[in-house]
Chain A
Amino acid sequence: MLRHLIAHLHQLLHTSSTTSPTSPSSSFILQSSSLHNHPRWSFLDIDDNSVDDCCGLVMAAGKSGNLRMVEPLKHPSTKKPRRDQSRGKSSGRSSMTEVMEQQIWKDFPEDLIEAVIARLPIATFFRFRSVCWRWNSLLNSPSFSQHCAQVQHANPWFYIITQERANSGAMYDPSIKKWYHPTVSALPSKLILFPVASAGGLVCFLEIGQRNFFVCNPLTQSFKELPARSVKVWSPVAVGMTANGNLTGAGYKILWVTCDGEYEVYDSMRKSWSRPGNMPVGIKLPLALNFKSQSISIDSTIYFMHSDPEGIVSYDIATGVWKQYIIPAPLHLTDHTLAECDGRIMLVGLLTKNAATCVCIWELQKMTLLWKEVDRMPNEWCLDLYGKHIKMTCLGNKGLLMLSLRSKHMNRLVTYDIASREWLKVPGCVAPRGRKRQSIACGTAFHPCLTAVA
Chain B
Amino acid sequence: MELLCIRQWISGLLPTWLSAWCIKPVGGALVRQEPEYILLALMGSPLKKIMLCSSEKEIFSVEEQVMVQHSVIINNMIEDGSYNHEESKIPLDCVDSKTLKKVIDYCTHHTHHHNDNQEDLEAWDAQFLNVDSNGLYDLLMAANYLEIRNLLDLIYGTIKNMIKGKKIDEIRRIFNIKDHGFTPEEEEQNRKEYPHFY
Please classify how large the interface on chain B is, using the bins under 10, 10 to 19, 20 to 34, 35 or more: 35 or more
A277 part of interface (Cβ distance < 8 Å) = no
In the complex, whether A84 has a CB less than 8 A from a CB of chain B is: yes
CB-CB contacts below 8 Å: B90-136 with A? 104-105, 108-109, 111-112, 115-119, 122, 126, 130, 132-134, 136
**Contact code string A112-139 (vs B, CB < 8 Å = 1, else 0):** 1101100111111011111111001000
Tell whether, in the assembled complex, residue B47 and residue A30 are in contact, meaning their CB atoms are under 8 Å apart.
yes
A234: chain B residues at CB < 8 Å are none
Given A28-B26, A67-B20, A91-B162, A41 contacting B31 (CB threshold 8 A): yes
Q: Contacts A112-B144, A116-B156, A131-B172 hold; do A35 and B36 have CB atoms under 8 A apart?
A: yes
Which residue of B109, B115, B197, B198 is within 8 Å of A38 (Cβ)?
B115
Bound Cα distance A181, B194 (Å): 10
B105 A24 Cβ-Cβ under 8 A: yes
A32 interface residue, CB < 8 Å from B? yes
Q: Is the CB of A102 within 8 A of B134?
A: yes
Say what secondary structure dominates the interface of chain A: loop
Given A43-B29, A69-B21, A116-B156; A9-B197 close (CB under 8 Å): no
Residues of A near B168 (CB, < 8 A) are 127-128, 130-131
Known: A12-B14, A105-B133. A96 touches B32 (CB 8 A): no
A19 contacts the other chain (CB 8 A): yes
Give the complex CA separation of A214 and B147 in angstroms.
Answer: 40
Complex CA gap A25/B40 in Å reads 20
Q: Which of B11, B33, B136 contacts A99 (CB 8 A)?
A: B136
Q: With A67-B35, A79-B118 given, is the CB distance from A27 to B26 under 8 Å? A: yes
Map CB proximity to A onto B15-42 as digits: 1 under 8 Å, 0 otherwise: 1010011111111111111111110110
Complex: A133 Cα to B66 Cα, angstroms: 42
User: CA–CA, A108 to B24, complex, Å?
Assistant: 46
> For the complex, what is the distance from the CA of A106 to the CA of B23, rounded to whole Å?
53
Are B115's CB and A77's CB within 8 A? yes
B17 surroundings in chain A (CB, below 8 A):
61
Given A27-B27, A41-B33, A106-B175, A132 and B182 touching (CB < 8 A)? yes
Cα A14 to Cα B117 in complex, Å, equals 30
B118, A30: Cβ atoms under 8 Å?
no
Query: Min CB distance, B180 to chain A, in Å?
Result: 4
Kindly provide the distance from the CB of A329 to the nearest chain B CB, expressed in whole angstroms.
36
Contact mask for chain B residues 38-76; partner A; CB cutoff 8 A; 1 contact, 0 none: 101100001100000000000011110110110000000
**Chain B residues, CB < 8 A from A113:** 175
| Chain B residues positioned under 8 Å from A72 (CB to CB) | 32, 34
19 more CB-based (< 8 A) A-B contacts, given A100-B162, A112-B156: A25-B108, A27-B26, A37-B34, A41-B31, A42-B32, A43-B31, A61-B21, A67-B22, A78-B117, A79-B118, A89-B122, A91-B161, A91-B162, A93-B130, A93-B158, A124-B164, A131-B168, A132-B177, A183-B195
Q: Which residues of B pack against A, CB within 8 Å?
A: 7, 10-11, 14-15, 17, 20-38, 40-41, 46-47, 60-63, 65-66, 68-69, 104-105, 108-109, 111-112, 115-119, 122, 126, 130, 132-134, 136-137, 140, 144, 152, 156-164, 166, 168, 170-172, 174-177, 179-182, 186-187, 190-191, 194-198
Task: List the interface of chain A (C-beta within 8 A of B).
Answer: 5, 8-9, 12-14, 16-17, 19-33, 35, 37-46, 57, 61, 67-70, 72-73, 75, 77-80, 84-86, 89, 91-93, 96, 99-102, 104-108, 112-113, 115-116, 119-124, 126-133, 136, 180-183, 221
Q: List 12 interface pairs A-B (beta carbons < 8 Å), by A numbering.
A: A12-B14, A13-B30, A41-B33, A68-B22, A99-B133, A100-B170, A106-B174, A115-B152, A128-B168, A130-B187, A131-B171, A132-B172
